[in-house]
Each structure stands twice: as C-alpha cells, then as structure tokens.
Amino acid sequence: MVECNLKTNSKGLTFINVNGIDTSEIDYFLYTDPKCEPSKRLIDLPSNVSDHHPISMRIKCNITREQQSRNSEKQKHKIRWNKVDKSRYEETISRNIGDFIERLNFDKVNIEVITLQAMDLLSDTAKQLDQKKTYGKNKLKLNEWNKEISESLEANKLAYKNWKSAGRPPNIDNILLTEKKLTRKNFRTAIRNEEIRRKHNERNDIINYNQNDKQKFFKLIRKQRQNGNTFINDLHVENEIFERNDILKGWNQHFSKLAIPSEHPDFNYQHLALCEMDYVSIKRISEHYATRYVDLDTIEKAIKSINKGKAEDVFGISIENVLYAGQQFKLFLHKLINRMLQDRVLPDIIKTGLLSPVFKNKGDKNDAKYYRGITVLPILLKIIEFILRIDLRSGSLKLQSILQKGFTANTSPLNAAIILEEVYREYMDKKLPFYIVLLDAKSAFDVVVLKMLLRKPQKSVVIQVQPSNRKKSEDPVRIYINNNAMPISDKSPHLGILRSTTSQKTQDATVEQNITKSRRAAYSLMSAGMHGENGLDPSTAIQLFKTFVQPILTYGLEVILPTSKNLLKLETFQKKILKQILSVPITAPDPSVYIMSGILPIEAQIDQKSLNLFNNICNQNENHLEKKIARRQLIAKNQESNSWFIAIKRYYSNTIYNHQSYF
C-alpha cells in the first residue's frame, strides 16, 4: 500500500453471514487518484440479493466528445437517376459542352485539363438536379419508422417527463414509473412489429419479382444474403495496428506496399532488362504506324456495352452520366478520344481508380492480408478499353495458342478440363503412370513487374498419377524450375476440379468439394427465405435452388463422369435439400419430390450437361484442339476404351437402343 501509494477509506462491514449479521469488511476500493471521491456503502438497496453490501465510488473526469463532421461535400451521395430530370440534365450538358469541343480544335491543348473539367461538369450537373433526401434537425437514428412508432415514442417521452418532474420515484408501485416502463415496452413492440412487417413485404416482393422482374428478384436475393457484420474497429497491417480514424491510413499503407515491386536476391534482373528492351522496342515500332480513326458508332457501342447501376468512379460519375448526357456529349467524346489517339497521349488522370478492400471470406477480418483490392476504373477508360479490344482481339486470336482457353470468347474453362481428363483416361487405357505439372503465372498482379507478367511461370505442384488404385506408386521423379524442386502433391485444383493421383480419387474429391460448397450456398439462402414451412413459396424456393445451388452441385461432373457410388452421394444430398424446401417428410417417395419440384435427378442432369458439352465441341471449328481429339478418339478407340468421347458414344448408343426397344 505504502510502496504503491495506494489508499482506501473504510465504510463499515460489507459481508453478511448466514444469520443476516454484518461480520467483516472484504469489499473496498484501492486508488491513487486524488480526484476520486470517498466510497459509500449501499445498505438499503431492494434489488440486492447478494450476501455483500455493494459499495460505490465516483471519479471526476473530463471526456471530450468528438465532433462529427457534417460537411455535406465530403459525404458521398449516389445519384438516384429515377429522380433526376433527364431532359434538363441533357440540356445543361449540351449547353456547356460546346466550349470543350472548340478547345479540342486548337493545335496546343491540355487534354488532361479538358478531360477533368468535362468529368466535373457531368458530376456537378447530376448532383444539382438530383432530389436529395431531406431530414429535420437530426437524422433519424432508427431504420424503421411509421406513425405507430412516432406516437409510441411521443407517449414514452411524455411519461418519462412526468416521472422526472415528480422527482424520479424509485417505488415500483408508483403509477408514473409503471407508465414509463409500459410506454417504453409499447415503443419497442412497435419497432419489432414494423421490422416483421417489412421482412414479410420483402418476402412477398421476392415472390412477385420472381414472376415479373428477374433483375429486381436477384437484387433482393443478394441483399438478403449479405452479411451485415462488415465493420472493423481496428486494422492489422503487418506489425502495426490502426484504430478508428487511422484505419484509412492503414489501408493506404497496405495497398501502397503492394503497388511497389519488391526486391528479392533471387530475382532475375537480366530477364527484367530483356523485358524492358522488348517494351521499348515495341513502343518504337508502334510509333511508325498511323493511328486509327474511331467512328461515332463505335463509341456508342462502347457506351451501351457498360452495365448500368454500377458504382461511381473516382470522378463521381457512372455510365448513366454519359448515357443521359445527349448527342452533343457523345460528339465531344468522339473528338476527345480521336485527339488522344492522334497525339498518342493517355492522361494519367483517367488511369486513377477507386480502390475498395473486399474480404476474402477466410482468415481474420481485422488483418489486411485477408483482403483483396477491387478497383473501380473511370468510365472514360472503360470506353477506350472497349475500342482497343476490337483491334486487339482480332489480332490476338490469330496468334493465340490452341491450348489457351481462358479469356477467350465462346470458350468454356471445361474445354480445357476435358483435355486433361482425356489424358487421364488415355493413360488408364495404357495402364501407365504419368505426371501432371500444374504451372500458374503469378496471381498477385499488384506486386509483380507488369512487363514480366506471364513471361515467367511460378512453380505450383506436381501430381504423380497412377492408372488404378491397386497399383503402388513408384518413387516420384523430381522436377525442377530454376534449380528449385517443385512440390509433389496428392491433390490440387484445376479449373474447379480437384485433380488427384487416380481418376477415382479425382471423382471422390470433386464430388465431396461440390457437396460442401452447395451446402454452404444453401445455408446462405436461408436468410432469403429458402427454408421450410414459414419461408418462401415452393416455386420461388425451387427457383433459388436452381439458380444458386444446382450449378455448384453439378459443376465439372460432365467432365469426370462420376461412378454410381458418387452419384448416390449427390442424389442423397439433392433429395434431402428438396424435401426440406418442399416441407415434405424425409420418408416421402423420391418420384414425388422430382414431380413436384420439376428438377431432374443428378444422373439425368450430368447426362444432359455432358451431351451439351459434346455438342459444343462438335460445333467448333476444325482447328480447335478439342475437336481434333474427339475425331481421333472416336476413330481410333474401341467400345472398351476409357476415353470420355467413347463414354459419350456408349451413352448415346444405349439411349437410341432403349428408345427403339420401347417402340
């Protein structure tokens, strides 16, 4: 006590024995602050049911209240275009954009300044014409509000005022205290009733929009599935912790480090120098080519290709600002883009994006490394990208490898998966082992040198595949990249399919993965009403199942063609979910479930999808690799082959035979 400069003040006995007699003092405060008032023993306290007399102490302190900024200019306000006078908006833009068009005719012009001023014109005009919501002196603090809540709140305030004016009587039998508690209860009941009413209306809207307006239907579903727990109180960036107002500084520091290429002692700087030379050479060669002229129709197609209802960019504009700006603004865009191409200038201001951190749904929500940055690009840059894509796509398709399936129009990732699946089945026919080397380009695009991207693949894994489960695996062959041994794995994902050491293990792992993901998707739809008797109507719930659960459950199965054992697992899961949605007993006959829901059994769905995939391959051009493989396998393989194409052929032959036998 003396060493720590602690003191206390005795207020009497605080412990009560079993006979109801005060016997000892074992409750007290120890303090050093001279601002603390002496403690008090509370004896006559009706609510105390303990065997101790409570003691209280007051500490004098000053708490500074933070002043929240009410500057409306700093608060982001999304334009509600259904409330904007579009004809007046177009008239205002057309009246002011003429000066910008004239300035583009000058020999010397600052394109960056003109671009920035034009974007500000669109943003400011839309904000001026938007009908903003108006509030009273204070913004409503409740999400729900109606006349009943307002009246109950007024009654509660009046009862509290009367109770306070009477000296705050603590007696529970006092009529003023009873009235205060009753009005408070009625106020909370009114809020809960309004919450229930709105939730019921949202369910009805989902049912109605399912039949009339699919866009609003899926918008409501996404809203219902959203997790409300998206706020954090502190942010961990490596070894630093940022709290409250400093969280934005933490995000800035985290993504700034990601934007700077890191140095590593094993980094191949000679390869970087070679890439720099290639970049400079390509740039010099392109300067000798005449720039193309972009016509007005191409710009209009580019504007129409961008989806509406998206987030605003760093200038505060969305595609609606351009769509409703009128023909004069399109003429300005036409002249501006052609002037950029003519001068070979792309202003840095339109390369600025609006970055938002998005949680990866794994790891600690307060740790910055579990977030990915999603950038909203300027609308003008998206329009220019569409124009450039027209020329780049036609040239890149001619030079593109026949093995390239990603980022290619009219090509599915399953087209690449079918090639690897055929390799599995080819070596099953030969009864020989083989190795799969999964190489992947560096996926962290924000931490690599962009000029070297895709020039140097990063190591992934090696899978040693056996032709059957019975054959024992031999000692693996070590494969090296840049003198670094690639790790050998028993399982690794490839285009959503878990590839393993045998074809059967690949089926087992993929089926288990699909069931797990489908169960997670079904649980996430419970908040939207996809559950039991008190949820959505069966037709809407079945629609949700078809849209959000069924594609996940059957993804990739048309490639691996699961056996009867795995089909039974998938069928059991689907029947259980459907019976819960339809609110029928678990012992209900399976045909009744499929008749009421209109959903095909799993085996029929896989057969349907596999035939569609085979039809897509047959309709490809002759130079596509999948079609060449299909033609070769169908000619060279017999009916006993494990080939995927022979399996489709057997199914098709059996279907025709059964159909003829029926008639």
* Longest Cα–Cα distance in the chain: 105
The answer to whether residues 610 and 534 belong to one domain is: yes
Length reported for the chain: 663
Query: What is the value of pTM for the model shown?
Result: 0.64
More confident residue, 535 or 325: 325
Whether residue 260 is contained in a domain is answered as no
Read off the tokens for 5.
Answer: 């400069």
**Number of domains, the chain:** 5
Whether residue 54 is contained in a domain is answered as yes
Read off the tokens for 643.
Answer: 């080939």
Which residues neighbour 430 within 8 Å (Cβ) at sequence distance 6 or greater?
A: 467
The answer to whether residues 547 and 599 belong to one domain is: yes
How far from chain centre, in Å, is Cα 278? Answer: 37
Q: What share of the chain has pLDDT > 70, as a percent?
A: 83
Read off the tokens for 455.
Answer: 């020039």
Q: Are 157 and 149 in contact (CB under 8 A)?
A: no
354 backbone dihedrals φ, ψ, rounded to 5°: -105, 110
Place of tokens 């994902």: 493
Read off the tokens for 157.
Answer: 């305030």
More confident residue, 388 or 569: 569
191 backbone dihedrals φ, ψ, rounded to 5°: -65, -45
Beta strand pairing status for 434-440 and 371-376? unpaired
What pLDDT sits at residue 323? Answer: 92
What sign does the CA torsion over 22, 24, 27, 30 have?
positive
The answer to whether residues 486 and 517 belong to one domain is: no
Give the Cα-Cα-Cα angle 36, 39, 45 (nearest 5 degrees). 135
Which residues neighbour 39 within 8 Å (Cβ) at sequence distance 6 or greater?
A: 8, 9, 11, 28, 29, 55, 56, 57
Whether residue 647 is contained in a domain is answered as no
More confident residue, 275 or 29: 275
Strand partners, 420: none
- Separation of alpha carbons 464 and 640, rounded Å: 25
Q: Are 606 and 560 in contact (CB under 8 A)?
A: no
Residue ending a domain, choose from 498, 522, 544: 498
pLDDT band at residue 446 under the 50/70/90 scheme:
very low
The answer to whether residues 326 and 356 belong to one domain is: yes
What pLDDT sits at residue 441? Answer: 47
Average pLDDT, the chain: 81
How far from chain centre, in Å, is Cα 229? Answer: 14
Place of tokens 């079993």: 18
Residue 422, burial from CB neighbour count under 10 angstroms (0-12, 13-18, 19+): buried
What pLDDT sits at residue 479? Answer: 77
**Which stretch of DSSP H or E encloses residue 375?**
strand 371-376
- Separation of alpha carbons 203 and 603, rounded Å: 33
Whether residue 514 is contained in a domain is answered as yes
pLDDT band at residue 535 under the 50/70/90 scheme:
confident
Own/partner contacts of 164-168, CB < 8 Å, gap of 24 or more, are none
What pLDDT sits at residue 374? Answer: 87
Which residues neighbour 301 within 8 Å (Cβ) at sequence distance 6 or greater?
A: 386
Whether residue 523 is contained in a domain is answered as yes
What pLDDT sits at residue 34? Answer: 66
pLDDT band at residue 39 under the 50/70/90 scheme:
confident
The answer to whether residues 38 and 95 belong to one domain is: no
pLDDT band at residue 558 under the 50/70/90 scheme:
very high
R_g (Cα) of the chain, nearest Å: 35
Residue ending a domain, choose from 171, 198, 225: 225
Highest mean pLDDT among 262-271, 442-451, 600-609: 600-609
What pLDDT sits at residue 9? Answer: 73
The answer to whether residues 512 and 607 belong to one domain is: yes
The answer to whether residues 515 and 575 belong to one domain is: yes
Mean pLDDT across 202-212: 66
DSSP tally for the chain: helices H, then strands E: 21, 14
Q: What share of the chain has pLDDT > 90, as a percent?
A: 22
- Please write the tens of the pLDDT for every residue from 91-134: 999 999 989 999 988 888 888 999 999 999 999 999 888 866 55
The answer to whether residues 300 and 382 belong to one domain is: yes
238-251 residues labelled b (16+ CB within 10 A) or e (exposed): eeeebeeeebeebb
- Inter-CA distances, 13 with 29, 37, 40, 46, Å: 14, 19, 12, 18
Residue 137 in this model has a pLDDT that exceeds 60: no
More confident residue, 618 or 199: 618
- Please write the tens of the pLDDT for every residue from 56-90: 877 777 777 665 544 444 456 678 888 888 899 99
- Separation of alpha carbons 524 and 518, rounded Å: 10
- Inter-CA distances, 154 with 148, 160, 169, Å: 10, 10, 21
How many beta carbons lie within 10 A of that of residue 342, not counting itself?
A: 11
Domain enclosing residue 525, as ranges? 506-619
Residue 555 in this model has a pLDDT that exceeds 90: yes
- Please write the tens of the pLDDT for every residue from 1-16: 677 777 777 777 878 7
What pLDDT sits at residue 459? Answer: 44
Which residues neighbour 658 within 8 Å (Cβ) at sequence distance 6 or greater?
A: none
Residue 455 in this model has a pLDDT that exceeds 50: no
Whether residue 247 is contained in a domain is answered as no
The answer to whether residues 41 and 7 belong to one domain is: yes
The answer to whether residues 473 and 369 belong to one domain is: no
82-109 residues labelled b (16+ CB within 10 A) or e (exposed): eebebeebbebbbeebeebbeeeeeeee
The answer to whether residues 480 and 542 belong to one domain is: no
Residue 500 in this model has a pLDDT that exceeds 60: yes
Looking at residue 72, its amino acid is S
Whether residue 573 is contained in a domain is answered as yes
Place of tokens 């000692």: 475
Whether residue 93 is contained in a domain is answered as yes
- Separation of alpha carbons 329 and 322, rounded Å: 8
Residue 222 in this model has a pLDDT that exceeds 70: no
Which residues neighbour 202 within 8 Å (Cβ) at sequence distance 6 or greater?
A: 220, 224
Strand residue runs (E) in 124-248:
234-237, 240-243
Residue 361: which of 521, 530, 242 has the closest Cα? Answer: 521
What pLDDT sits at residue 645? Answer: 92
- Inter-CA distances, 329 with 94, 294, 441, 476, Å: 7, 16, 41, 65
Q: What is the dihedral of CA 268, 270, 271, 276, to 10 degrees?
A: 130
The answer to whether residues 45 and 111 belong to one domain is: no
Which residues neighbour 586 within 8 Å (Cβ) at sequence distance 6 or greater?
A: 576, 579
More confident residue, 214 or 75: 214
Residue ending a domain, choose from 498, 519, 539: 498
